[in-house]
Amino acid sequence: MALISVRNLYKVFGPNPKRVFPLLEQGKSKPEILKRTGCTVAINGASFDIEKRETFVVMGLSGSGKSTMIRCLNRLIEPTRGEIILDGQDIMKMDKEKLRETRRYKMSMVFQHFGLLPHRSVINNVEFGLEIGGMDKDERQKKAMKAIELVGLKGFEYSKPAQLSGGMQQRVGLARALANDPEILLMDEAFSALDPLIRTQMQDELLELQAKMHKTIIFITHDLDEALKLGDRIVILGPEGRVRQIGTPEEILSSPADDYVKEFVQNVDRTKVITTSSIMKSHATVSYPADGPATATRIMEKNRLNAIFVTDSDRKLMGLVTIDDAAKAAKKGQKDLTPIIQDNIYTTYPDTAISDLLGTAVTTTYPIAVIDENNVFHGVVDRGAILAEVTIGIDDEAAPTRLSELNGQEEDAETRENA
């Protein structure tokens, strides 16, 4: 079951927002509705599920409703209509006390501009929420220290925010959100105010932290690269506050739902996002010690292969034999594959980005074997599939031309001139 389930969520800002719904049903646009009613449709019928422990990115251009969306999830902004179910409980129906408890213990927020109290030290900032919640001093300081260590700020606990760089201030913001160990982190453009280098570093650190913490993270950004890097799944909001697509980075890049998303993603370097698993193919193997050179030769001939991978009885990859070696060994009557197994072959993992395979792809003669962390063989990626991914979307106007075509064109020109 999803941790958070959002159904038909609407937020309309302005006087008497309910009168906007008939206009929405008639398909009136956001600017038209604003003109006619003075109301702004910020979220227009959004539905999605957020799974436990995933990083769910809400992505869209300025004004598409991202901040409104994340604030509706904890009702910092009161939705106009819809349902938000958190762990089986309807947030829309919670009374003030229950809502306060949910905000305090279940979800914490990290803001773009850090939101730190300037006169308080790092540790006092981090423990602030716990203090408000009435936790005693020893316990809250212990929790705050743990969070400070987690974000790599040990040694700075008694500094004031103004003494820290932007990246460090945002670490304090993150530590403050983590201090009460909430299940859900709401991060609103949390890295957008940082210099590009620091921003990249914080993204990497968040990925590392998340690998240890396994929180459910809802991360808002207007930056597609950031969304693709951090998101397990991404929801793309259109300018009219509608959900345009929900999917993994690979799904969004490979099959954009409409022209809006297509335009969004067209300049992204796909090879950095698409991973080996999406272009992996199955490949014939022989099993050691059951199969010998004669079987290997037969399978290669049947499948028109010049080499075949060898696995042990647990499908662990041992190496590869070529058809020449296998045929020679079979002719000599050898039964054992061992002397002809080559183990100087290339391997990769299912989650490796295709861009990391390019160098190998142009040098190796054989497909690259895809294995998991236990060395179990899953399939192969070949040069053709890698190049196909790299060349998608490349404008081929200046591509090489066949010599015969060039000659043909000259002949045509001559014929025209003579005519």
Ligand X SMILES: Nc1ncnc2c1ncn2[C@@H]1O[C@H](COP(=O)(O)OP(=O)(O)OP(=O)(O)O)[C@@H](O)[C@H]1O
Contacting positions for ligand X (CB under 6 A): 13, 40, 42, 60, 62-68, 222
Q: Which is nearer to ligand X, 42 or 184 (CB)?
A: 42
Q: Which is nearer to ligand X, 62 or 313 (CB)?
A: 62
What span, in angstroms and rounded, lies between the C-alpha atoms of 215 and 206?
11
C-beta of 83: minimal distance to ligand X in Å?
Answer: 19
Q: Which is nearer to ligand X, 40 or 74 (CB)?
A: 40
C-beta of 410: minimal distance to ligand X in Å?
Answer: 57
C-beta of 57: minimal distance to ligand X in Å?
Answer: 13
C-beta of 36: minimal distance to ligand X in Å?
Answer: 16
3-state secondary structure of 267: coil
Q: Which is nearer to ligand X, 64 or 124 (CB)?
A: 64
Q: Which is nearer to ligand X, 67 or 124 (CB)?
A: 67
The closest of 240, 228, 334 to 43, measured between CA atoms, is: 240
Q: Which residues contact 312 (CB under 8 A, 6 or more apart)?
A: 287, 288, 318
C-beta of 71: minimal distance to ligand X in Å?
Answer: 8
C-beta of 223: minimal distance to ligand X in Å?
Answer: 10
Q: Which is nearer to ligand X, 8 or 303 (CB)?
A: 8
Q: Is the peptide bond before 289 cis (omega within 30 degrees of 0)?
A: yes
Q: Which residues contact 300 (CB under 8 A, 6 or more apart)?
A: 284, 306, 307, 308, 323, 326
Q: How far is CA 239 from the centre of its chain?
A: 22
Q: Which is nearer to ligand X, 42 or 370 (CB)?
A: 42
User: Which conformational region is residue 342 in: left (phi greater than 0), alpha (psi within -120 to 50 degrees), or beta?
Assistant: beta
What span, in angstroms and rounded, lies between the C-alpha atoms of 64 and 82?
18
Diameter over CA atoms, the chain: 99
C-beta of 32: minimal distance to ligand X in Å?
Answer: 14
What DSSP string runs through 4-69? Answer: EEEEEEEEEESSSGGGHHHHHHTT--HHHHHHHHS-EEEEEEEEEEE-TT-EEEEE-STTSSHHHH
